[in-house]
Structure 1
Amino acid sequence: MIWSLCLLYLAGSLGAVHPGPVKRPQKTANSVAPQEDVNVLMFGVIQLGESLNDLYESTESKLTKILHTLKQREGALMQIGEQTAQAAEVERQIKGVIQLLQDQTFKQEIQTKMREGQLANIEREEAVLQTKVKSLEAYLNGTFPTSIKELQERAALNASILKGLLHLTQFQKQKIDKHAEQLSTLQRMSEAL
């Protein structure tokens, strides 16, 4: 662009270029501009051309920077979109884990209640058996005082049976306590989430 302006200036200073149709030169004093004015105008045109060229180049570099920044922003937006999708997936997984923990907690509560019911039944049966053993001992003592040794053996057998039932009851109670601890741990975990 600068070269074309230089050529235009050179042609104008040599008088080789005419901006319109060729006319016969008339010898009027006002029709021809002095060479100095033409030089000043051409210098102004060259400076205007250089300014326009600088403006074009700076605008081009600014546009390049803007396009580069836009590409960076697009990359950042894509990353944010991916992170949002990943966060949504993690949230869905956490909700699934929470639901699973709640289901397990509910099942543990049901099992604990069933075990407590079984333990209560065993304790009632033990009490009934103890009552029966005592009434049987009383009956036997009143009815057959001659065979005390036999009664003592039966009482010892009944006592060992009762001890076995007591151990079974304690074992069931330990299982219920263990399930209660597991249930409280699961509840704490679900509350923490």
Structure 2
Amino acid sequence: MIWRLCLLYLAGGLGAVRAGPVKWSGKTADRVARREDVNVLMYGVIQLGESINNVYKSTEGKVANILLTLNEHERALEQLREQTAQAGEVEIQIKRVIELLQDQTFKQESQTKMTEGQLADIEREEAVLWTKVKSLEAHLNSTTPTIIKELLERATFNASILKGLQHLTHFQKQLIDNHAEQLWKLQRMSEAL
């Protein structure tokens, strides 16, 4: 293709030389001068062809590099799209887990409040019972020791139930604290996304 351009340029150059008025004197010096002009033109055409060829090759290399770079950028962009989609899915899952933990925490707090209320009622009953036991103990000290034993056993039994409820309340409070800590960590993770 470059050689065609060179020949076309050469033909145009030769045509320009012929197109002008030429005076033949028949002398050899005129013909030599014309050949020198043609040689200069040919040399120029060859240099132009080589320059065009070099430009073509370098342009072709640059275009190939640009295409490679574009392909790399497209791959990187596709990977970013996939990572963004995955991050969106993870964020949705984290939000669902947070909602579940919040629901569980709310239920456990409600249960703990209810248990604390029951515990307070039992403590009041125990206090009333101990008051009755002490007053009856003083009254029945002389009459029937078996009744006092039964009342003491009953008070001991109620005390053990009270301790069990206290342990249960403490355990539920620990569960609530653990859930609150997990919820806090998940919220921090979702904020980091």
TM-score range with shorter-chain normalisation?
0.7 to 0.9
Match of 2:111? 111
5+ residue gaps in structure 1?
13-17
SS of structure 2 residue aligned to 1:37: helix
Q: CA-to-partner distance for each residue in 1:70-129, whole Å, 9 max, x for gaps? A: 010000011111111111221222222222222222111111111111111111122222
Q: What amino acid is aligned across from residue 66 of structure 1 in structure 2?
A: I
Taking the aligned partners of 1:78 and 1:168, their CA distance within structure 2 comes to: 64
Q: Is the 8 A contact 1:101 1:186 kept in 2?
A: yes
Q: Is the 8 A contact 1:137 1:155 kept in 2?
A: yes
Taking the aligned partners of 2:49 and 2:25, their CA distance within structure 1 comes to: 31
Q: What amino acid is aligned across from residue 86 of structure 2 in structure 1?
A: Q
5+ residue gaps in structure 2?
187-193
Q: What amino acid is aligned across from residue 128 of structure 1 in structure 2?
A: V
Q: Quote how far apart the aligned CAs of 1:6 are.
A: 7.4
Q: CA-to-partner distance for each residue in 1:33-62, whole Å, 9 max, x for gaps? A: 611111110111111011111111111111
TM-score (norm 2): 0.78
Match of 1:131? 131
Match of 1:154? 147
Q: Is the 8 A contact 1:5 1:45 kept in 2?
A: no
Match of 2:172? 179
TM-score (norm 1): 0.78
Q: Is the 8 A contact 1:5 1:46 kept in 2?
A: no
**Could you say which structure has the larger radius of gyration?**
1
Q: What amino acid is aligned across from residue 69 of structure 2 in structure 1?
A: T
Q: Is the 8 A contact 2:119 2:162 kept in 1?
A: yes
Q: Is the 8 A contact 1:2 1:46 kept in 2?
A: no
Taking the aligned partners of 1:29 and 1:101, their CA distance within structure 2 comes to: 110
Q: What amino acid is aligned across from residue 38 of structure 2 in structure 1?
A: V
Match of 1:15? none
Q: Quote how far apart the aligned CAs of 1:175 are.
A: 0.5
- Please report the RMSD computed on the Cα atoms of aligned residues, expressed in angstroms: 3.0
Cα 1:51–1:153 change in 2 (3 A) is same
Taking the aligned partners of 1:106 and 1:130, their CA distance within structure 2 comes to: 36
Q: What amino acid is aligned across from residue 57 of structure 1 in structure 2?
A: K
Cα 1:186–1:8 change in 2 (3 A) is closer
SS of structure 1 residue aligned to 2:24: coil
SS of structure 2 residue aligned to 1:34: helix
Q: Quote how far apart the aligned CAs of 1:158 are.
A: 1.2
Q: Is the 8 A contact 2:108 2:176 kept in 1?
A: yes
Q: Is the 8 A contact 2:2 2:52 kept in 1?
A: no
Q: Is the 8 A contact 2:116 2:169 kept in 1?
A: yes
